């Protein structure tokens, strides 16, 4: 990623705003846009992808497969959204999700005998902020902060005692 | 009156906490900027609108154009831009040069400030800046408390040269694979990245799992074990800081051999016997705990060899040195 997501349209536009991500991969400069920028469950949306060569700007004219997976740890279940050919140099892939969540859209294509895979984030609606890993991390942080705060007056003597026994073996 | 130097450890805690909070604030600013750029307030979910409102309240007194004016500081402790000055962790440079098998002059320049600071003050990044240190030290305190209440905690010992091996293997693997592998196992890089993931992308990644495992390693296997035995960045900073200019030294005349300094040192150094070496990160915990103010900062590129028992100690007096 070259930077934070930016947005291609301003407040005066009659078109819904799109989230746009730009990245470089191999020989290609890839732009990815989501319409609308903040899609909701059961609302049709669209991914537009544009890929052009970095050296001469020539657009990619093969086919691009769009896959989607849930953006959760240890999840490898991937679903094919569709395979698209370019329409005016843009690969357009429609979608409609039934549930809110964080998803990863993977665009795959092959150029010059090399396979390309690019992952882009896609947020649908308002997903739950805390997954199992987030809850674990939060619990550890709360434990660390609580113990350190409550025991702050005894920590130095505890550390000295613990350190001495640690060295004693 | 206690000398001011004793309060350096408190200042260090303020520094560590402040840097950690900045690492939380930066992705919040980034997300807020993205929302502002999108002109999409009405399309945000209620929690996102609340986030927007809070950020707007916090930043409004300082900037008129948040989309552009909040760009002064970007990045993490791995690599950052601070008021147009690019700063990079030396380990990032070593990793990138190894992976690319090419020297990048601008990247080298970005590591210049941390390298100079390390040559002057030693492993000070580890003690005063590293966001993982804050959590590791809280974790050490947790271990001390668990130990007091009778629960077992880790007290195993390994060869501290192990981390230099990790650094060497990391360089070789980066050269072979072409990837900067250090970024995957280096706690400060992981923390910066994971905080960004959590705030900007809505969840933690595999790095969080790895970091939790390092906390468990410290808690159950070896006190501050990851920093002492594994961290490749710690190894690099130790090497760079071997001949640091500023170092802690013991005033043997005022030392009473209480050994509190040695017990409190999380890197298992031995200040009471003048054993600081290249591992010392100038955290000043030993200075803060010394009851006779026998530990001070000195400008010297070498440690003083063992000066023997402290002159206020019983052992020294009984043997009439």
| CATH architecture, range B245-319 | 2-Layer Sandwich (3.30)
- Residues B178-213 have pLDDT tens digits of 999 999 999 999 999 999 988 887 778 889 999 999
Q: Is A12 exposed, middle or buried (0-12, 13-18, 19+ CB in 10 A)?
A: exposed
The answer to whether residues A100 and A12 touch, using CB atoms and an 8 Å cutoff, is no
Instruction: Check whether A126 has a pLDDT greater than 80.
Output: no
Chain B residues inside the 8 Å CB shell of A162? 143-144, 147-148, 153, 223
More confidently predicted of A1 and B177: B177
Is A111 at the interface with chain B, CB within 8 A? no
DSSP bridge pairs for B299:
B246
Instruction: Check whether A166 has a pLDDT greater than 60.
Output: yes
Q: Across the interface, which of B39, B148, B206 has its CB nearest the CB of A11?
A: B39
Starting at the edge strand that comes first in sequence, how are the strands of the sheet with B73-75 ordered? B73-75, B79-82, B85-88
What residue ranges do the domains of chain A occupy? 6-124, 132-168
ipTM, interface predicted TM-score of the complex: 0.84
Q: What distance in Å separates residue B125's CA from the closest CA in chain A? A: 22
Question: pLDDT at position A169, please?
Answer: 61
Distance (Å, whole) CA B182 – CA B177: 12
Instruction: Check whether B125 has a pLDDT greater than 80.
Output: yes
More confidently predicted of A100 and B131: B131
Residue range A6-124, CATH number: 2.60.40.3340
Distance (Å, whole) CA B159 – CA A161: 23
The answer to whether residues B230 and B166 touch, using CB atoms and an 8 Å cutoff, is yes
Q: Do A162 and B46 touch (CB under 8 A)?
A: no
What is the 3-class SS of B88-134, one letter each residue?
ECHHHHHHHHHHHCCCCHHHHHHCHHHHHHHHHHCCHHHHHHCHHHH
Distance (Å, whole) CA B186 – CA A74: 21
Instruction: Check whether B214 has a pLDDT greater than 80.
Output: yes
Distance (Å, whole) CA B219 – CA A160: 16
Q: Do A5 and B34 touch (CB under 8 A)?
A: yes
What residue ranges do the domains of chain B occupy? 1-71, 76-242, 245-319
Distance (Å, whole) CA B223 – CA A162: 10
Model-level pTM? 0.81
Q: Across the interface, which of B141, B200, B203 has its CB nearest the CB of A147?
A: B141
Q: Do A133 and B289 touch (CB under 8 A)?
A: no
Distance (Å, whole) CA A134 – CA B112: 36
Q: Do B138 and A145 touch (CB under 8 A)?
A: yes
DSSP bridge pairs for B74:
B81
Q: Do A7 and B40 touch (CB under 8 A)?
A: yes
The answer to whether residues B263 and B296 touch, using CB atoms and an 8 Å cutoff, is no
């Amino acid at each position: 990623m070259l930077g934070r997501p930016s947005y291609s349209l301003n407040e005066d536009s009659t078109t819904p705003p799109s989230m746009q991500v730009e990245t470089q991969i191999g020989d290609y400069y890839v732009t990815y846009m989501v319409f609308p920028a903040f899609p909701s469950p059961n609302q049709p949306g669209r991914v537009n992808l544009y890929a052009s060569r970095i050296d001469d700007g020539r657009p990619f004219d093969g086919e691009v497969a769009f896959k989607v997976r849930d953006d959760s740890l240890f999840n490898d279940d991937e679903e094919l959204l569709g395979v698209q050919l370019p329409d005016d140099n843009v690969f357009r892939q429609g979608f409609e999700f039934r549930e809110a969540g964080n998803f990863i859209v993977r665009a795959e294509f092959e150029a010059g005998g090399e396979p390309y895979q690019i992952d882009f984030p896609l947020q649908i609606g308002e997903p739950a902020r805390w997954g199992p890993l987030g809850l674990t991390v939060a619990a550890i942080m709360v434990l660390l902060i609580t113990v350190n705060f409550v025991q702050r007056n005894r920590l130095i003597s505890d550390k000295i005692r613990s350190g001495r026994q640690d060295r004693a073996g | 009156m206690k000398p001011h130097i004793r309060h350096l450890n408190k200042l260090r805690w303020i520094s560590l906490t402040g840097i950690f909070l900045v690492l939380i604030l930066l992705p919040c600013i980034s997300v807020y900027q993205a929302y502002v750029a999108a002109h999409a307030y009405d399309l945000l979910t209620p929690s996102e609108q609340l986030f927007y409102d809070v950020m707007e309240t916090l930043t409004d007194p300082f900037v008129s154009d948040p989309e552009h004016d909040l760009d002064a500081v970007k990045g993490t402790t791995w690599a950052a831009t601070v008021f147009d000055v690019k700063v990079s962790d030396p380990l990032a440079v070593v990793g990138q040069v190894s992976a690319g098998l090419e020297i990048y002059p601008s990247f080298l320049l970005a590591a210049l400030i941390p390298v100079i600071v390390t040559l002057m003050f030693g492993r000070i990044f580890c003690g005063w800046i590293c966001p993982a240190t804050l959590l590791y030290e809280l974790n050490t305190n947790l271990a001390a408390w668990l130990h007091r209440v009778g629960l077992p905690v880790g007290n195993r010992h390994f060869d501290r040269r192990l981390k230099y091996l990790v650094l060497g293997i990391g360089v070789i693997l980066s050269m072979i694979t072409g990837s900067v592998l250090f970024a995957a196992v280096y706690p400060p890089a992981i923390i910066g990245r994971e905080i960004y993931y959590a705030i900007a992308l809505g969840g933690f990644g595999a790095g969080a799992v790895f970091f939790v495992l390092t906390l468990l390693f410290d808690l159950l296997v070896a006190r501050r074990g990851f920093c002492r035995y594994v961290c490749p960045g710690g190894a690099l900073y130790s090497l760079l800081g071997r001949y640091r200019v500023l170092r802690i030294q013991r005033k043997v005349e005022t030392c009473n051999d209480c050994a509190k300094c040695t017990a409190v040192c999380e890197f298992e150094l031995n200040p009471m016997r003048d054993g600081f070496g290249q591992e010392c990160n100038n955290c000043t915990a030993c200075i803060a705990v010394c009851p006779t103010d026998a530990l001070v900062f000195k400008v010297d590129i070498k440690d003083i060899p063992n000066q023997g028992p402290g002159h206020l100690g019983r052992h020294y007096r009984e043997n009439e040195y």
